[in-house]
Amino acid sequence: MITLVKTDLLSDVMKFLCSSKASTLQDLMKEFKLTEAEAEALLSTLLGEGLLIKVEAGIINPCVGCPLNMACKIKTTRYENTTTHYRLSNSGLKFCEKLKT
């Protein structure tokens, strides 16, 4: 697989994701001063590598049933809002554990 994203940036993004429970596209854009296309490319790469899981909160109640409901910093009470955020997969969690050592 050809990676079109700089490896050092991927490493920094993974460190950021390891320190947060869930992140949105906007979180990455703000934290790393990225354009939307750049942030989407990063997320696509990490999703493709199996390090992230995309979680889409539905229209009825975006927080009910979400595995991050208790720890989420993105909670919304606006039922018509659809929120997409990303959380670490099991592989991503293992990667974070390796970073700690």
Q: What would the DSSP string read from start to end of 20-85?
A: SS-B-HHHHHHHHT--HHHHHHHHHHHHHTTSEEEEEE-SS-SSTT-TTTTT-SS----TT--EEE
Domain presence at residue 69: no
Domain housing 37:
7-57+84-100
Residues 86-96: pLDDT tens digits? Answer: 999 999 999 99
> Is the pLDDT higher at 31 or at 70?
31
Residue 62's pLDDT band (cuts 50, 70, 90):
low
> Does the residue 26 lie in any domain?
yes
Tokens of 51: 């390090």
Asked whether residue 93 is domain-assigned, the answer is: yes
User: Rounded to an integer, what distance in angstroms lies between the CA atom of residue 88 and that of residue 51?
Assistant: 6
Q: What is the pLDDT of residues 2-53, one digit of tens each?
A: 344 567 888 899 999 999 878 889 999 999 999 999 999 999 999 999 999 9
**Domain membership flag for residue 73:** no
Contact 87, 96 (CB under 8 A): no
For residue 4, what pLDDT is reported? Answer: 47
